[in-house]
């Protein structure tokens, strides 16, 4: 009875989180229970969120699955798990560093990361036919030039280490350009969810492994709040939840409904907003930014038909 209740509860909570994944992938059930693409409201920024929120745990399990998946739909398109693995990390960095006005991660690493803004604001979803590793070379190789110092800065600050690890994944992609249809995956330098900060005196190899937490079920942390540090309350929630199950199911259904509405709104306004917005006029490296309009105008802006997951990026 309790097991049935937990399953019912999970089936109500999880559908609101949908992360982009190849539809035939073994990761599909882990990543995408709602039949859609990643949207901004699916993303978390702080390291602790990946342990304490359902969104963060879902992203963690999804990325760890995608990191080993070579599922592809069409060898000559970007609909493959190597691409979606990078996309979900790219979109997280884009959102956490460059879309949120009060991002503490960016303010601490502004001079190192701001030159990458136009690379991250280039929407992959509105350019579905772009070359798979276009981000590596666009804007005169801005990514290649600045990714390393941005990642180094992020990994020095407690709380933004995972963002730095994501940057490392994207760098690894540029180095090896893995092709899913040939069985390649992104080679990871270290544990993607290691949160050990690196500084000038400790070596990067000192990071402890944390992937064991990946086996943790997202349902074990029923807290839906985006604020961090709720794992204790989350555990207590299960006990309380069994008692007031009916109430929680109604609440979860309402929440799922509201999330769905929000998802629809965001997936419509995000691409326009991000595509239209110009980088701020204060740019430490004007040369890296000056190529932006040409890059964007040189590409079709049409959406691929029948590819709802490609709306954002
Ligand atoms: C998340 O959990 C893992 C494993 O339990 C642990 O190694 C890691 O340090 C935790 N991360 C944070 C930010 O608390
Ligand atoms: C594969 O993708 C390419 C590029 O998007 C497209 O032109 C082609 O028609 C697709 N092939 C199949 C079999 O779907
Ligand atoms: C991946 O490999 C396939 C088959 O060898 C090839 O057709 C495709 O163009 C390659 N994709 C990329 C992005 O290089």
pLDDT tens per residue across span 78-98: 999 999 999 999 999 999 999
Residue 190 pLDDT: 87
Ligand with smallest separation from the Cα of 44: 1
Residue 199 pLDDT: 75
Residue 111 pLDDT: 87
- Of 73, 74, 307, the one to substitute when testing ligand 2's pocket (max ligand atoms within 8 A of C-beta) is 74
Residue 108 pLDDT: 85
Atom of ligand 1 nearest to the CA of 51: 1
Low pLDDT (below 50) residues in the chain: 14-15, 201-250, 264-312
Ligand with smallest separation from the Cα of 46: 1
Break the chain into its structural domains and give their ranges: 16-212
Ligand with smallest separation from the Cα of 131: 3
Backbone angles phi, psi at 188, to 5 degrees: -90, 135
Helices (H) and strands (E) in the chain, counts: 14, 0
- Residues 102 and 43: their CA atoms lie apart, in Å, by 16
30 Cα: distance to centroid of ligand 1 (angstroms): 20
Going by alpha carbons, the residue nearest to atom 7 of ligand 1 is 210
pLDDT tens per residue across span 167-214: 999 999 999 999 999 999 999 988 999 999 987 544 444 444 443 333
Listed in sequence order, the residues at least 6 apart from 36 whose beta carbon sits closer than 8 Å to its beta carbon are 18, 263, 267, 308, 309
- Residues 95 and 77: their CA atoms lie apart, in Å, by 25
Residue 91 pLDDT: 95
Rounded to 10°, the helix 81-93/54-66 angle is 140
Instruction: Give me the DSSP letters along 259-285.
Output: HHHHHHHHHHHHHHHHHHPPPPS--S-
Residue 264: closest CA among 256, 274, 276: 256
Token pair belonging to 162: 């995972």
Residue 268 pLDDT: 32
- Of 70, 74, 76, 80, the one to substitute when testing ligand 3's pocket (max ligand atoms within 8 A of C-beta) is 76
Residue 261 pLDDT: 52
């Amino acid at each position: 009875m309790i097991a049935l209740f937990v399953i019912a509860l999970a089936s109500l909570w999880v559908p609101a989180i949908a992360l982009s994944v190849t539809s035939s992938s073994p990761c599909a059930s882990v990543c995408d229970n709602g039949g859609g693409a990643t949207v901004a409201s699916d993303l978390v920024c702080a390291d602790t969120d990946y342990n304490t929120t359902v969104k963060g745990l879902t992203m963690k399990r999804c990325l760890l699955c995608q990191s080993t998946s070579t599922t592809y739909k069409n060898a000559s398109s970007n609909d493959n798990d190597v691409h979606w693995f990078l996309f979900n990390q790219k979109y997280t960095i884009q959102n956490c560093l460059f879309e949120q006005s009060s991002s503490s991660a960016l303010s601490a690493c502004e001079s190192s990361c701001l030159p990458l803004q136009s690379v991250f604001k280039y929407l992959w979803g509105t350019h579905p036919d772009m070359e798979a590793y276009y981000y590596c070379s666009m804007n005169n190789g801005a990514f290649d030039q600045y990714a390393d110092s941005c990642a180094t800065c992020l990994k020095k600050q407690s709380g933004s280490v995972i963002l730095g690890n994501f940057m490392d994944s994207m760098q690894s992609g540029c180095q090896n350009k893995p092709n899913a249809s040939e069985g390649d995956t992104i080679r990871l330098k270290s544990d993607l969810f290691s949160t050990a900060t690196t500084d000038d005196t400790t070596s990067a190899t000192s990071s402890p492994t944390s992937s064991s937490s990946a086996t943790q079920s997202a349902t074990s942390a029923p807290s839906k709040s985006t604020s961090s540090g709720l794992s204790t309350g989350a555990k207590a929630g299960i006990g309380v939840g069994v008692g007031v199950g009916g109430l929680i199911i109604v609440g979860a259904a309402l929440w799922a409904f509201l999330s769905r509405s929000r998802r629809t709104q965001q997936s419509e306004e995000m691409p326009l907003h991000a595509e239209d917005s110009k980088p701020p006029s204060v740019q430490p490296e004007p040369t890296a930014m000056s190529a932006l309009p040409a890059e964007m105008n040189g590409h079709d802006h049409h959406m691929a038909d029948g590819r709802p997951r490609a709306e954002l990026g």
